[in-house]
Structures are given as C-alpha cells and as structure tokens.
Chains A and B, each alone.
Chain A
C-alpha cells in the first residue's frame, strides 16, 4: 500500500432488512487485505453499529473508509436530525429509538458506546437539523 485505499458505501435508510450490507462488504475487503481477525472484528462491529444508527435515526447516509498502512479510518456521514446532547447519547443505555426499533433488537442505547469501545479514537461532529459525522480510527498493531 503506497498511500491509502478508499472505499465508499451508501447506506440505504429505507431498508432495515438490508442494513449491515456495507459492513459485510467492508469485512470482506479487510479479510482480503489480510488484516488480523481481531482488528477486522472491531472495525466490522463499529461500522455495523454505525450503519444501524444511520438507518434508525438518520434515514441513511454514507460511509467512507480509508485504509492506511498503520490505521483504518471510518467516516460515517448522515444528514439526519443531529445529536443534541452528545454526552447523553454516549451513555450506555440511553436511547431515543422507538419501540418498533427495539422490537427489532436495537435501540438498547449501546450503539455509540460500542463504537467507542471497539475503536481507538472516535469523534462526533453533529449539528441539530443538519446531520452527524462520526470519525472512527483503529490503529493497526503489527
């Protein structure tokens, strides 16, 4: 890898059934590139939670993944309602998801905390009414 590889995924906000497809694709790419299984799992879960969040809360969005020699950066960009109180949203168990989302097995208030747990760095930039960008970085340990 001379510089970096970039992969772009669109996340369809209408379809809960297909949610997670971008994560499946990313996982395949990372496997092909020969990253350690633990790294792949951490990135896949973080990406998957992010994807589910975009479908549940933001009507979809996009994911850009930059793969460098020493790190992988995932940027999740949506134009949803934004997050009013980021500290509150980061609390385990806090969720604004509806009962219908909960009946599908999500909305336990674990999405953002899980994304933070599985990545080395996470930054949330959000403006109410405009959208949210989440940047997550996982460093590759040789």
Chain B
C-alpha cells in the first residue's frame, strides 16, 4: 500500500514528508503505544501507528527502518520530533481517528500486520 493511500484512508494530514515520499510502498503496519513492543517486531518498510508523543517514537521508527508514522487521536509531534523525522526521511502524519479504527481501516484495506 502506498503511503498516499494511507493518508487518504485515514483522512490524515501530512506533517512532514515530500510528495515523492508519499509514493513509497509499505508492506506491513504496527499499532502500539509501547515502543518496546514495537521494537520486538522487525519488518521491512513498515508504518507505525501510535498515540504516544515523544522523540523516542521517532527514534524507534528510525532504528527499525520504518518509513512512516501516523499519530492517532489528533496527537501532534513537537518541532524537535519533526526535525528528527525529517533527518531520517520518515513521513509523519496525524489522523483524527482513534487507534482501533485507524488500524482496522488499514487492515480491512489489505495492509497486514507482521507475521508473528
């Protein structure tokens, strides 16, 4: 699924990321507010959905080579977080949807979770 499709499905606002980055493909997704749980899961080209807002969210995604972060429930990253994301080339979006609905919407449209 393209990042642009995720934006469309979640009616999300892009906070940082170039037009070209939105055309990148993601193959799996992970939804969690616990970064240690996210770190227990490795998958290429993934998107992270989270309601947690601090700079470690961006670092976690960076360590895992994730390409996109979606903040749910209208949470917004601070400028410092946006800077880290820009440096790492990670697309950051915000959606009004809650975690359950956001994950469900992506799953129902064919974006799978990681194989356990």
Query: Which of chain A's residues have a CB closer than 8 A to the CB of B52?
Result: 104-105
**Docked-complex contact B65 and A41, CB < 8 angstroms:** yes
| Known contacts A17-B54, A17-B80, A45-B39; A108/B34 CB under 8 A | yes
For the A-B complex, the count of residue pairs with Cβ-Cβ distances under 8 Å equals: 70
Interface segment, A19-27, A59-67, A68-76? Answer: A19-27
Minimum distance in angstroms from A11 CB to a CB of chain B: 13
**Docked-complex contact B63 and A104, CB < 8 angstroms:** no
CB of B57 closer than 8 Å to a CB of A: yes
A45 to B62, CA, bound (A): 10
A-side interface mostly: helix
**Docked-complex contact A106 and B65, CB < 8 angstroms:** no
B-side interface mostly: helix
Chain A, 1-55, CB within 8 A of any chain B CB = 16-17, 19-20, 23-24, 27, 37, 41-42, 44-45, 48-49, 52
CB of B8 closer than 8 Å to a CB of A: no
| Known contacts A23-B59, A41-B64, A45-B63; A108/B42 CB under 8 A | no
**Docked-complex contact A105 and B35, CB < 8 angstroms:** yes
Query: Which of chain B's residues have a CB closer than 8 A to the CB of A58?
Result: none
Chain B, 27-59, CB within 8 A of any chain A CB = 33-37, 39-40, 42, 50, 52, 54-57, 59
A interface residues, tally (CB under 8 Å): 28
A92 to B73, CA, bound (A): 29
Minimum distance in angstroms from A48 CB to a CB of chain B: 5
Query: Which of chain A's residues have a CB closer than 8 A to the CB of B39?
Result: 45, 48-49, 110, 114
Query: Which of chain A's residues have a CB closer than 8 A to the CB of B57?
Result: 105
Chain B, 1-48, CB within 8 A of any chain A CB = 33-37, 39-40, 42
Which A-chain residue is minimally distant from B52 (CB atoms)?
Answer: A105
Minimum distance in angstroms from B54 CB to a CB of chain A: 6
A106 to B64, CA, bound (A): 16
| Further 11 A-B residue pairs, CB within 8 A, beyond A48-B60, A104-B52, A105-B50 | A17-B80, A20-B56, A42-B42, A45-B39, A45-B42, A49-B36, A102-B34, A108-B34, A110-B36, A114-B40, A117-B40
Question: Interface of B with A (CB < 8 Å)?
Answer: 33-37, 39-40, 42, 50, 52, 54-57, 59-60, 62-65, 80
